[in-house]
Amino acid sequence: MKKWLVHIVLLLCVCTAQAEVWKQFNVLTKHYLSLTGEVGYYSLLENLPDVRTRGGASGALGLGYEMRYNKFWFGIGLDLQYGSSSMTTAGFGIDRAVYDTQGKLVQFHYDIKDYTDTQNDLRVGVPILFGFYTNGIYGGAGLRFSFAPYTFSAPSVTYYTRGSYEKYIDDFEDMPNHFYTEYTTKGRSELKIRPQASVIAELGYDILNKERMSAYALCSVLKVALYAEYGLNSCMNGTKDESEVYSIDPSNPTQLIPSSYYANKDLRKSRIVPLFVGIKITFMLRIKTADCRCDGGAI
């Protein structure tokens, strides 16, 4: 009997200690709703031959939840990110036999000066972060899972035209009245982007930390950070049925209509991943709980 009493007393002591630990955990734990904004540099990193990538601007808005406990913090959210990146290829030439305005056969030359394919996408993502917090400085890393419900490509091409006739030694060029001049044309192509898993990291500081709750001011935090995101898997497959990145208007042979490199090439063996580097601003609003001590203490 005494043995059972000892066990019961020990069990009650353990439960009491656990309850006290849980109570202290609740007191020290702070929960926040967050609103985030990001702006920075976005680019698609690739290993495609004879291709040069140029990055562009990117921005994002998001909502989330953050928890801080002692020197640890955890965050999860839902965001909407827009990114734009372009690629260029080495110059190339195209030759076509056509008839001129007088019905004479001419070898039409298209000298490609610049071909650019600009990719634009809108991604919905779920970022998950774990990190440290001390004296207003915080840092963390995690994963972001995203998919692109809306994306398109806007290719453009700048080229010169020349004409060769059998009975003439020199080419006809720099003759705008005869359509031998410089042209710039643009196109638009739909793209398919694969779901993306990315590693993310941020390092920042609380520039405003108001930990007193009153009728006029809520417990809130404003923080700014350096933010980076790098894709883990290739985001494009292209197509199995490769085709040229241009077509010629049959009714007007001077018009070269560009199409997307990303959509017209087989990219299944290539690696194309997004990179984002920028600034992230977060406004957090404290969620008041039964154990909340909004008394001006350090966060």
pLDDT, position 35: 96
Q: What is the DSSP letter of 19?
A: H
Q: Is residue 242 within 8 Å of 264, Cβ to Cβ?
A: yes
Can you say whether the dihedral through the CA atoms of 147, 202, 84, 39 is positive or negative?
Answer: positive
CATH code for the structural domain at 32-286: 2.40.160.20
Question: What would the pLDDT profile of 234-270 be if each residue is shown by its tens digit?
Answer: 888 766 666 777 778 777 777 888 888 887 777 777 8
pLDDT digits (tens, 9 = 90+) for 158-209: 888 888 887 788 787 788 777 788 888 888 888 888 899 999 999 999 998 7
Q: What is the pLDDT of residues 105-140, one digit of tens each?
A: 888 888 888 888 898 999 999 999 999 999 889 999
Residue 145: its pLDDT value, please?
96
Residue range 208-235: average pLDDT?
79
The owner of tokens 């350090």 is 298
Most confident residue range from 10-14, 71-75, 290-294: 71-75
Res 298: pLDDT: 39
The larger pLDDT score, comparing residue 103 to residue 160, is at: 160
- Whether 5 and 21 have beta carbons less than 8 Å apart is answered as no
- Least confident segment among 25-34, 141-150, 254-263: 25-34
Average of per-residue pLDDT across 77-86: 94
Q: Over 60: is that where the pLDDT of 17 sits?
A: no
d(CA 24, CA 18): 10
Confidence of residue 284 (pLDDT cuts 50, 70, 90): very high
User: What's residue 25's pLDDT?
Assistant: 39
Per the CB < 8 A criterion, the answer to whether 221 and 32 are in contact is yes
Mean pLDDT across 261-280: 84
Q: Poorest-confidence range of 50-59, 88-97, 277-286?
A: 88-97
Residues 20-28: contacts with CB under 8 Å, at least 24 apart: 23/291, 25/69, 26/289, 26/290, 26/291, 27/291, 27/293, 28/69, 28/70
The DSSP letter of residue 117 is: E
Output the CA torsion sign for 42, 145, 269, 247.
negative
Q: Among 179, 128, 119, 136, which residue's Cα sits nearest to residue 299?
A: 136
Average of pLDDT values for 139-164? 91
Q: Find the range with the poorest average confidence among 55-64, 87-96, 122-131, 239-248.
A: 239-248
pLDDT of residue 7: 40
Confidence (pLDDT) at 138: 94
pLDDT band at residue 212, thresholds of 50, 70 and 90? low
Cα–Cα distance for residue pair 149/166, rounded to 1 Å: 53
For the entire predicted model, the pTM comes to 0.76
DSSP annotation of 287:
P
- How far apart, in Å, are the Cα atoms of 98 and each of 116, 167, 250? 26, 16, 10
* Percent share of the chain, pLDDT over 90: 33
Tokens of 224: 């700014």
3-state secondary structure of 55: coil
Specify the pLDDT at position 240.
Answer: 63
Residue 171's closest CA among 108, 112, 248, 111? 108
Concatenated DSSP letters of 128-186: EEEEEEETTEEEEEEEEEEEEEEEEEEEEEEEEEEEE-TT-SSPB-SBGGGTBSEEEEE
The rounded distance, in Å, linking the Cα atoms of 278 and 69 is 27
